[in-house]
Amino acid sequence: MRWTKRRFNPNSLRVEQVPLTRKELMWALSVRLFWLVVIGGGSVWLFDQVFQSPADRARDREIAFLEDQLEDMRRHVAQMDAALENLERRDDAVYRTILGVPPVPEHIRQAGVGGADRFSDVRGHLHSEEVADLKMRIAELQRALVTQSKSLDEVAEMAREYEDRLESIPAIQPVRNEDLHRMAGGWGYRIHPIYKVRKFHFGMDFSAPEGTEIFATGDGEVVKVKRLYNGYGRHVVIRHGFGYETLYAHMSSTDVKVGDRVHRGQVIGRVGSSGTSTSSHLHYEVHKDGVKVNPAHYFFNDLTPEEYEAMLEASEAETQSLD
């Protein structure tokens, strides 16, 4: 087959078929090839844009799903971060403050993961930086949660000890208000009823009828039950722990023995006038770390503010004591 073109012959006045020159042939082939490429490429592009294969559609759905999951992870990590920060703040500002212990040092809370790039395996892909950042933050949260868990374990242990301490600290009157005749003698200098000299009175005297119940003012162990014919007379000493001891003197009878465990509010004996005493009353002392302290500061559990103020005023009046 020869490539020809139609040309008008002025001599013969006829349209004749003449073969194409090499140059014309190359030009015709080039034009046809160009349009073939344009039409073919355009068709492929148009088909790819308008019509997707099932595999492409499945891939796009998978990518969209993974992007949604990445956004959910980002949101959940932010929520966990905020919750952990709130817990750390309460741990330092509330729990540890109440228990009187220092907060967790910041360099322990903010310890980094350190080392080489632990997430190099996820880099080089779509969203790889976001994924690497999230994995880094999750690792930091895991370390922070371990630190916080240990801190809460310490707080729980301290709280248990603190609860024991609260139960052990002397915190009530050893004689009920309704059983009292009066606050006969308080802490400080008083006139001794027998020796008639001004002496320091290391306790409080509660005047009450003989046989009135006497209560342990805190949990503890009875370490002394003794009867003397002078001084404290029949008396009991309870060791509460945490450096506290209480002494109950001039009793008419005792309901406990050495080694007994007692609880706050438990009856341990009865009011009397044994030993060096001029009338029926209870002499009560509080010792802290071996030093006698003012018992008036240890009645905060069962007195109203008004009752406490009245008791404190009566205890501070410099009168004659009963022992």
Task: Summarize the confidence of residues 58-80 as an average pLDDT.
Answer: 82
pLDDT tens, position by position, 10-26: 777 777 777 777 887 78
Q: 91-95, 109-113, 256-260 — which is least confidently predicted? A: 109-113
Confidence of residue 61 (pLDDT cuts 50, 70, 90): confident
With a cut of 90, say whether residue 253 has pLDDT above it: yes
pLDDT at position 235 is 96
Cβ atoms of 266 and 226 closer than 8 Å: no
The tokens for 191 are 């006139």
Q: 2-16, 37-51, 61-75, 304-318 — which is least confidently predicted? A: 304-318
Residue appearing with tokens 């009867």: 227
The gap between the terminal CA atoms of the chain, to the nearest Å, is 145
> Which amino acid appears at position 212 of this protein?
T
With a cut of 90, say whether residue 185 has pLDDT above it: no
The percent of residues above 90 in pLDDT, for the chain, comes to: 23
Of 137-141, 241-245, 247-251, 308-312, highest mean pLDDT: 247-251
With a cut of 70, say whether residue 111 has pLDDT above it: no
Task: Summarize the confidence of residues 35-58 as an average pLDDT.
Answer: 76
pLDDT tens, position by position, 62-72: 878 878 888 88
pLDDT at position 129 is 73
pLDDT at position 215 is 96
Cβ atoms of 132 and 123 closer than 8 Å: yes
Task: Summarize the confidence of residues 267-277 as an average pLDDT.
Answer: 93
- Rounded Cα gap, residues 270 and 267, in angstroms: 8
Confidence of residue 97 (pLDDT cuts 50, 70, 90): low
3-state helix, strand, coil in the chain (%, to 5): 45, 25, 35
Question: ∠ CA(244), CA(246), CA(248), 5° rounding?
Answer: 175
With a cut of 90, say whether residue 32 has pLDDT above it: no
pLDDT at position 116 is 47
Count of beta carbons in the 10 Å neighbourhood of residue 282: 31
- Specify the higher pLDDT residue, 307 or 87: 87
Confidence of residue 188 (pLDDT cuts 50, 70, 90): low
pLDDT tens, position by position, 157-182: 777 777 778 888 898 989 987 766 65
Residue whose C-alpha is closest to residue 110's, from 128, 80, 84: 84
- Rounded Cα gap, residues 293 and 202, in angstroms: 7
Q: 134-148, 155-169, 179-193, 214-228 — which is least confidently predicted? A: 179-193
Confidence of residue 283 (pLDDT cuts 50, 70, 90): very high
